Structure 1
Amino acid sequence: MTWGFLVLAGPWLVVLGVGSVSPWKQDPRTVTFTQWDMQQREGHSREKRDVWSETSGFTACKAPVSQSEHKILDENTHETGFHGDDGSSFILTWVGDGTGVILVLSTVSAPLDSFFDGSSRLYRSADYGKSFHDISHSINNTFIRKDFGICVGPGNSQRVILTATLPIFETTGGVIFTSMDSGLTFQSVQLPFHPAQAISFHYQNPDYLVVIDIDGGLWLSLDFGKKWTMIHEGTHSFMWGAGINLFFASSPKGTVEAERRGKLFLKRTQDLGKTLTTISQNVFSFGYIGGFLFTSVMESLGSPRVIYVSSDQGDTFNKAQLPSASTEQFYSVLDGDEDMIFMHVDTPGEDTYFGTIYTSDDRGILYSKSLERHLFAGEGKSDFTNVTSLRGVYLTNVLEEDGRIRTVISFDRGGEWRPLQKPKNVECGEHVKNCNLHIHGEYSLYSGIIPMLPLSDPAAVGLVIAHGSVGDSISAAQPDVYVSGDGGYTWRLTLRGPHHYSILDSGGLIVAVEAHRDRQVNSIKFSTDEGQCWKTYNFTEQAIFFAGLASEPGTKTMNISVFGYRPDDDDQPMWVAVTIDFGCLVTRECEEQDYVDWLAHSSDGSASETDGCILGYRETFRRLKRLSVCRNGRDFVASRQQTPCPCTREDYMCDYGYYRHENSSDCVKQPDFVNHTLGICLNGEIEELQTSGYRKVPSDKCEGGFTPPRSLDSARRHCGAVTPASSRSPNSDRTTETLVLIMTGAGTTIFALAVIIAVTCRKVRCRQRAPVYRFSALRQVEDDLCISPESGTRVSTSQGSYQDDSDDDLIE
């Protein structure tokens, strides 16, 4: 998923495996570089209508590395080889922030007929990968699990947990090894249970650990694994909420086998397991993202699932409203924070591969249409990307009616979408109409077309690196690398063919390695001017099959490690790690004259009060000049100044039941809402709501200017209140005054929960007569990372991250 919204505090990991190369990619993610055709996998034969064009206008700027530069880099390039018998797969883990510590876990797979004959080796580097030392003795040469054997704590906690593989039928519990000093020393801990998944860190306090055992028991440790307490049986899934809120879904019969789907209880503990409260019943699955708690609920036996959302950690739930949805559609949360949610709603029909993006209000309840025909391919792959280097920017792809896939971009959090501008240094073919740049995302990664996703980082203001092509649609042919320095407004073709790339020194340096499936590489390219010119350095005399780039979490470092392997004499892989310290080449510290004031989102650089206004305010950054060759340094922070703007129509999103017509800033009523009226149910009476179709975008800070009319009619009629039994604790005596939005007309009545007003001593009841939806993927911020080298995917349970086109896997 494109889960561009994710902001990860934890370390980065790279999975390396022979035959299944897993290159590093953004934020950070771990993927398996597969080489099969997606259409064959899905068993269908959709016609492709990709259009490519010649790009003869591109001229690469290549500057040779001088002899002195080559000598400096040679002196600061360090290669480490790992013998072929070390293992069939490696797991690379960065620990802490600024520690320079890397752990490498190699595992030798056991034969199929022998579960316990595997072995592991553990290596540690404390100098950013320049040298590694075998520290297998510190874990007694124990065989560490391949699926979730190594986990690292959030931020700079320097905590590490290794989970051993032991014979379940011969021991009463498993064994873990814990470290509080970035793997310098380890402590062996005997567990009273066998973990069924990765141990989860609390995102703020790394002493708090949670895990589910093989029998469904939910275990909690408050002292970094020394002591464990089982707080519940029959648990299917859990997620950390805000503070120390812990949510988990469990079977009413206390077993993992009995009556799983649609009859689970959602429970919460707010005091680390001392007391438990049931906050929802008949739960099919749940997720937590951006402060919003979502539940998929079966309100009655055999009924379709409906979505409830809570913004107060489960105290109260309201039914989420998405207009024009059917029971055949699924949902996927694309992105979210405390202000709003991006939700994809699939279009009904078999293998449609597209749907509609809706954006929520600041309560996560009312949703408005943002983008139609949004591409959402098989296996739950969405190209939706949050450009983290500039506020409000999102990229994604749409599937047009003619079968073409095209890229669109929004600079105002989904308020308006537009095509990408064609780069000036590349041309389309003579017969291509509507020539634009198109960016490859998850769909292309999944199909093996590109090695990594678009890359951006908040520290590198405005910088975006991505694979793309020019034409009237995206292509399955070999893409090139494009760079934007202004958050996606303008782009430049910078490298021919697919590459692996990384941002260093807060954007002052970017590096890239060519991506090849069938041949070895021995060179790395680097640029100090946002990709306008590149130099090439041969980092090894013996080429390697590239497996991944690895750098310290964030973009502050100037060290980069290139990992790969080369076959040795007996055809066993020899793993190689090559670390290059570019800090010895770029030695001058940046000074005041190396920086320039840059107005983000500016169209013409004018001093008008509206230029650069996005989401109600202007931002001026102090950032590095493109031609300045110097070091930002680890302490660099791009300073910014914010100025409020007058409100315009662009500061408002379309209200519930309205949408923004194509190529227009006006919000018009959806066809199926014509002749309907909107009202609110408050204190048992309906007050009709008059709206011009606009509501302010969440987090928008504009002042004055355009203000659409919105008022309450005094006409009143009776209504009830909604207090869904499935969303309240059976022991709760709390009563709630509820604000409910009601849409009526043509013999129908639809109730939509809008917001909880206050806690009072009076109950307001509204009858439930609302559309139901199929609920699917949920995602939220992850803070600790565990890795599975066999699947090539990252496993994290600290915040519960899932990506699938069905909610059947949410609570596995």
Structure 2
Amino acid sequence: MFPAKTEISCRSCQLAAGEWRPRQQLVLLKLKTDTPDSLLQATGSRGEVTGDSGSPSVGGWEQWEQPESGEPDDGRKAAAPSSRRRRSTSGFSFNDALGKLAKLGSTLSRGKVHKLEFPDGGPASARPASTDAHLKRRGRRSSGGSSKGAESGAPRAELRWNKEERRASSPRQEELKLTSSTFALTGDSAHNQAMVHWSGQNSSVILMLTKLYDFNLGSVTESSLWRSTDYGTTYEKLNEKVGVKTILSYLYVSPNNKRKIMLLTDPEVENSLLISTDEGATYQKYRLNFYILSLLFHPEQEDWILAYSHDQKLYSSVEFGRRWQLVHTTGIPSVEYSTSITFTNMDFHSALYVTCKLQNCTEANKGKPFPGYIDPNSLVVQGEYVFVQVSTGGRPIYYVSSRRDLFTPMKLPKYTLPKDLHVISTDENRVVAAVQEWNQNDTYNLYVSEAGGVYYTLALENVMSSMGPEGNVMIDLYEVAGIKGMFLANKKMEEQVKTYITYNKGRDWRLLQAPSSDLQGNSIHCILPYCSLHLHLHVSANPYTSGNIASKDSAPGIIVASGSVGAELTTSNVSMFITSDAGNTWRQIFDEEYSVLYLDQGGALVAIRHTPLPIRHLWLSFDEGRVWNKYSFTSSPLFVDGVLGEPGEETLIMTIFGHVSHRSEWQLVKIDFRSIFNRRCTEVDYQTWHLHNQGEPCLMGVKRIYRKLKPIARCVMGKTYSVSVMSEPCDCTESDFECDYGYERRTDGRCTPAFWFQPSSMSRSCTTGHTFLNSTGYRKVVSDNCTAGVVDLYTARRLPCPSQAPKGLHLVTSEGKLTALLSHNVTFLVFLEQGDGSRTSITVDFGDGNAITYSNVSSIEDGIKHIYKNVGIYRVSATAENNLGSETAVLFLHVTCQLEYIHLSAPFVAVKNKEVNLTAVLWPSQVGTVTYIWWFGNNSEPVITLEGSVAFTFPREGINIVTVQVAAGNTILQDRKTIAVHEYFRSHLLAFSSNLDDHNPDVSEWRLDVSRVIKNSMVQATGVSPEQLLVTVLPGLPTAAEFFLLPDKEVTEGKPEKITTHLDQLLELVLAALNQNQVQFTLRPGVQITVYAAHLSAAPLVDTSENHSSSAMLMLLSVVVVGLAVFLIYKFKRKIPGLHLYAAMQDEKEQEMIRSPVSPTESTPSCSSQRQLLTSPEPLDTEVNTQPIGAYVISDCMFQSVS
């Protein structure tokens, strides 16, 4: 197993509320293991660490996974408070696969917190997220999550003892003492974090890194490195060997060679790695050119490491960090047991499942086992199984690959409709999944699969769940160590939570029988099913905290847990209980909570009380918890922060970490338990124990007989002891079989088909000439070893595959979407549920005139690729056909191109209570399926159309804002215009001296500025009030503009006849000024611009003398031109806005608009005077919250309004 690693925080330190400790994340990647137990071991050669479990359990059990390949030669394992765990699903959730991220930095805490961590030598990089928790004192918790028991109950905590400690310290009372020594880390009193590594493997070396973490700066500002070579009796400070000014932030240990140590410096000061190959005696420094966020060690190759950087890049090293190579620019890594690595290549919306060889991870060598995109952060690699999630239509679809074979959709009962799914376990070729169904909130249903991980049946309903501190879901399910197939679960029934136990992997469950008597020997009257024992199944992810329940592989049948007796599980009146016969009978051992550790492979138990006060005693039991003796381990009371046990199962040396007060340095108390044992165990000290379930000896198809230490034996088993199990197969009975997929267990115990299930559908993968298993409604429990008996009655029968017509044909895109981009590859996937796939042809019609036919289904497993050359909605069909029939599946694919610009074409001024035509002009004009969302004024509800034009009537005068949003594919663009609404007004077009066109860049900002200058010039020349004049410059060349005159309501008194007269007078005044060239402005020095009226107006009186005959001739010619213009207007039925009076009673004055412009590649009307709406790539007036303008097109020398 691997060296110790966790963290401990000082319980004696006062915690200031409101202070936040920044986090850093470390990627934890799943490793393939040889044995399921490696997934469950809480500590291994990391050592044993325990302490106050008053802090909530955090992290997840799977984050302590360790490969069997890393176990030391001597076979020793740490005495873990719990080798199994409450099932936390962080890291196995499809919704939160990044829960596998372990934390490199510190976590949320308050004030000065002494934290002790132990570097992981296991596969999971530096340390899992579970180790980010810190010990907190028992008592009332503050709002920040810290406990203030010591603060409120013991202001001078270092001088305040509890009654138990005062009694034990009486000089008149003789007490039992343990052999111990104390060492103080002098000079590190300010350091509030520490990391510890104990190699084990017959090594006496312990490394400790202490550091001062500044919460305000979010970084480490001081550090010290300590090393012991005598099992922790004394320590040497190594700061000079690593560099006096070097600040160390983290300690790593190779899982395969614990002599190889890696120290990471604080990147804020120096970005380097210090590497040691002699258990920390000497170091070499190597510079880094990237910031490490997480490290992952290979489970077999001791020098192979993956590094994940802060900028989401993946690096690899095959020289233990001396040199690094960039593997991938973006990816969340997940490592398998072989030499290949697995990761997801992510963008914002989707991800690809990618694999490659570590030593040759090039683009050409990267594999993509899943033929499409998956949801980000949904990849889970666990043992022989790989899981991914693909969301389609808002509903997730889960896929599984067993033994790296093809991906297959996971088959849950048809109407499960999961909201959330977590993979709990993949032990022994079976998947256990927790599924939150559509009608559940705080509970999950447990489902179990067959060996392939595809077909799932219900194991237990309404298992309680809670949210962990890291945001991970915690399932109240606990797998008991040392007993195969044994689980404990807390089930919610009618608002009550009860504890259930199973001995056959969830096939059958029952309540726990309560103890017959309490701690004082009083009888407990508790009758099933109304009263039973209920246990808290919280398992601390930090190995230094025992959590609420503990069991151990080397001590089968012994379970220690906290809980209560009654009708339901409660959080009050919690006591400690123990069973030594695998849950058949229970005994109460303490009437309050304790941390319980296993010594000498379970031959002895150590209990440390949960208390916010300093202690100097612990309790020992040598008879499976029947009798407990109190021992003192130090002469002065100590605030215990945690306990580190010697790596290996023997565990006879422990180090207790603590503080005399919150101002003191670390105190390390080494305890040697070897002195309390007087001899080694011999064969006469062992006995046989028959595993049973309430008298039934056949469990999982066998009778199991264990070799255990006698309760009366007080001897050391030592590292040579191994658990011995003898087994004898049993005849199969109905209890060895569970309901098959699609079947449900009735109240009488029989399995019958669910209403939605058709048993014949199970032969859908059959091909003619082959056979299939015809289910009887039952399947043997995975790993059940029963033989004979009723096996023939319940086992599926092998039958020849029937010839059948194709049925259940599915056609989807690889991304699960119904949209595709123009000129991009689209991959179609075709699935056939029933029919002879080898003899069924598939024809795919892409809907664009192209089709392709395949001779059989197997030839299209990788998907069918196609490229569309035009936008539109295509009817894509797939037809499966054989000699017995055919079936067709259809999908409608929306092919779109990227929408680049949008322009809202709208009039500058509109008439009250008259319809106004508004048009959204797109660029490019053809983008596929488009939705238009229109917002008018202050209306809270939009108008949604599929057309780019809409008519709207403004009922009130004033300024109105119109916004249009255009949704095309994944793109949404918008434009906004301001429209002035009036009941009466006059308007006229303006022209300019030709030199203005040379300075017109044809952008909206320029037009707005020039409009303002023109208005100011007209106001100065005419004296018209600025409030009565509006001017807008029109887009395009030659430059044109339009002005609008508004009535003065105070002068006209709102009377129509006065308004008409008033507007006519104003118009005459303005036109006269324009005709006399009185309106001019300076564009820039030397550039003078003259503004003209675009059309002839009434002429002034002309002298008829002969001296003015030329003027008369000009007037005559003007009349002829006007007559010709009138004729052309009548002929082409065009309207000239400049010659009209706009008023509410003039119904014939309707707005006109032009069509959306065609794309640049399409031809345009050949009219020399036509003004193009879009003359440059820039959209017209696309700015939001800017004053809009009208747009005009000159055609046949006449004006036509388009906005």
Given the superposition, is the C-alpha separation of residues 526 and 277 from structure 1 closer, same or farther in structure 2, using an over 3 Å criterion?
A: same
Structure 2 distance, partners of 1:768, 1:573, is 77
Q: Comparing both chains, which one has the higher relative contact order based on Cα–Cα distances under 8 Å and sequence gaps of 6 or more?
A: 1
- Does structure 1 residue 267 correspond to structure 2 residue 354? yes
Q: Which residue of structure 1 aligns with residue 679 of structure 2? A: 588
Structure 1 residues 610-629: Cα deviation after superposition (integer angstroms, max 9, x where no partner): x5222222222222111111
Deviation at 1:323, TM superposition (A): 1.2
| Contact 2:180 2:669 (8 Å CA) reproduced | no
Structure 2 distance, partners of 1:25, 1:39, is 27
Deviation at 1:287, TM superposition (A): 1.0
Counterpart secondary structure, 1:536: strand
Q: Which residue of structure 2 aligns with residue 780 of structure 1? A: none
- Does structure 1 residue 193 correspond to structure 2 residue 290? yes
- Does structure 1 residue 599 correspond to structure 2 residue 690? yes
- Does structure 1 residue 224 correspond to structure 2 residue 320? yes
Counterpart secondary structure, 1:673: coil
Given the superposition, is the C-alpha separation of residues 489 and 94 from structure 1 closer, same or farther in structure 2, using an over 3 Å criterion?
A: farther
Q: Which residue of structure 1 aligns with residue 379 of structure 2? A: 286
Q: Which residue of structure 2 aligns with residue 297 of structure 1? A: 390
Given the superposition, is the C-alpha separation of residues 484 and 290 from structure 1 closer, same or farther in structure 2, using an over 3 Å criterion?
A: farther
Q: Which residue of structure 2 aligns with residue 646 of structure 1? A: 731
| Contact 1:14 1:22 (8 Å CA) reproduced | no
Amino acid at match of 1:599: H
- Does structure 1 residue 7 correspond to structure 2 residue 41? yes
Matches within 5 A, 1:241-640: 241-251=336-346, 259-261=347-349, 263-270=350-357, 272-274=359-361, 275-280=365-370, 281-284=372-375, 285-298=378-391, 303-313=394-404, 315-327=405-417, 329-349=419-439, 352-379=441-468, 380-401=473-494, 403-426=495-518, 427-428=523-524, 434-442=530-538, 452-517=547-612, 519-567=613-661, 572-601=663-692, 603-604=694-695, 612-640=697-725
* Structure in which a larger fraction of residues adopt helix: 2
Structure 2 distance, partners of 1:724, 1:595, is 63
| Contact 2:513 2:584 (8 Å CA) reproduced | yes
Given the superposition, is the C-alpha separation of residues 233 and 84 from structure 1 closer, same or farther in structure 2, using an over 3 Å criterion?
A: closer
Structure 1 distance, partners of 2:505, 2:537, is 18
Q: Which residue of structure 2 aligns with residue 657 of structure 1? A: 742
Aligned mate of 1:151, from 252, 257, 265: 252
- Does structure 1 residue 718 correspond to structure 2 residue 813? no
Q: Which residue of structure 2 aligns with residue 160 of structure 1? A: 261
Matches within 5 A, 1:694-705: 694-705=778-789
Counterpart secondary structure, 2:40: coil
Structure 2 distance, partners of 1:561, 1:636, is 23
Q: Which residue of structure 2 aligns with residue 733 of structure 1? A: none
Deviation at 1:317, TM superposition (A): 0.9
Amino acid at match of 2:221: G
Amino acid at match of 2:422: S
Deviation at 1:573, TM superposition (A): 3.8
Deviation at 1:27, TM superposition (A): 4.1
Amino acid at match of 2:702: Y
Structure 2 distance, partners of 1:396, 1:713, is 42
Structure 1 distance, partners of 2:527, 2:782, is 43
Percent of pairs with identical residues = 24
Structure 2 distance, partners of 1:577, 1:283, is 50
Given the superposition, is the C-alpha separation of residues 202 and 27 from structure 1 closer, same or farther in structure 2, using an over 3 Å criterion?
A: farther
Given the superposition, is the C-alpha separation of residues 71 and 499 from structure 1 closer, same or farther in structure 2, using an over 3 Å criterion?
A: closer
TM-score, with structure 1 as normaliser: 0.76
Deviation at 1:217, TM superposition (A): 1.6
Q: Based on CA coordinates, which of the two structures has the bigger radius of gyration?
A: 2
Structure 2 distance, partners of 1:89, 1:713, is 67
Amino acid at match of 2:255: P
Structure 2 distance, partners of 1:702, 1:436, is 31
- Does structure 1 residue 666 correspond to structure 2 residue 750? yes
Structure 1 distance, partners of 2:526, 2:483, is 34
Aligned mate of 2:763, from 677, 680, 692: 680
Amino acid at match of 2:356: T
Given the superposition, is the C-alpha separation of residues 694 and 326 from structure 1 closer, same or farther in structure 2, using an over 3 Å criterion?
A: closer
Structure 1 residues 44-67: Cα deviation after superposition (integer angstroms, max 9, x where no partner): xxxxxxxxxxxxxxxxxxxx99x9
Amino acid at match of 2:46: P
Amino acid at match of 1:502: L
Deviation at 1:545, TM superposition (A): 1.8
Deviation at 1:511, TM superposition (A): 0.3
Structure 1 distance, partners of 2:56, 2:776, is 54
Deviation at 1:97, TM superposition (A): 3.6
Deviation at 1:703, TM superposition (A): 1.2
Given the superposition, is the C-alpha separation of residues 537 and 227 from structure 1 closer, same or farther in structure 2, using an over 3 Å criterion?
A: same
| Contact 2:400 2:410 (8 Å CA) reproduced | yes
Q: Which residue of structure 2 aligns with residue 95 of structure 1? A: 199
Amino acid at match of 1:538: S
Deviation at 1:716, TM superposition (A): 3.4
Counterpart secondary structure, 1:574: coil
Structure 1 distance, partners of 2:261, 2:200, is 10
Structure 2 distance, partners of 1:722, 1:12, is 53
| Contact 2:526 2:566 (8 Å CA) reproduced | no
Given the superposition, is the C-alpha separation of residues 690 and 466 from structure 1 closer, same or farther in structure 2, using an over 3 Å criterion?
A: same
Amino acid at match of 2:338: G
Given the superposition, is the C-alpha separation of residues 366 and 97 from structure 1 closer, same or farther in structure 2, using an over 3 Å criterion?
A: farther
| Contact 2:428 2:782 (8 Å CA) reproduced | no
Deviation at 1:397, TM superposition (A): 0.7
Deviation at 1:118, TM superposition (A): 0.5
| Contact 1:264 1:283 (8 Å CA) reproduced | yes
Counterpart secondary structure, 2:764: strand
Which piece of structure 1 moves more, 152-161 or 407-416?
Answer: 152-161
Structure 1 residues 177-218: Cα deviation after superposition (integer angstroms, max 9, x where no partner): 223333333332222321122x11112222110011122221
- Root-mean-square deviation (Å): 4.0
Amino acid at match of 1:354: T
Q: Which residue of structure 2 aligns with residue 85 of structure 1? A: 189
Amino acid at match of 2:253: V
Deviation at 1:414, TM superposition (A): 1.3
Structure 1 distance, partners of 2:760, 2:141, is 46
Structure 2 distance, partners of 1:294, 1:78, is 50
Amino acid at match of 1:6: L
| Contact 1:96 1:158 (8 Å CA) reproduced | no
Amino acid at match of 2:512: L
Q: Which residue of structure 2 aligns with residue 203 of structure 1? A: 299
Amino acid at match of 1:183: G
Given the superposition, is the C-alpha separation of residues 110 and 617 from structure 1 closer, same or farther in structure 2, using an over 3 Å criterion?
A: same
Given the superposition, is the C-alpha separation of residues 464 and 316 from structure 1 closer, same or farther in structure 2, using an over 3 Å criterion?
A: same
Counterpart secondary structure, 1:469: strand
Matches within 5 A, 1:31-110: 31-33=133-135, 73-83=177-187, 85-110=189-214
Which consecutive unaligned segments of at least 5 residues does structure 2 have? 1-35, 59-79, 85-129, 146-167, 817-828, 836-855, 864-879, 881-886, 890-1203
Counterpart secondary structure, 1:196: strand
- Does structure 1 residue 137 correspond to structure 2 residue 234? no
Q: Which residue of structure 2 aligns with residue 777 of structure 1? A: none
Counterpart secondary structure, 2:379: strand
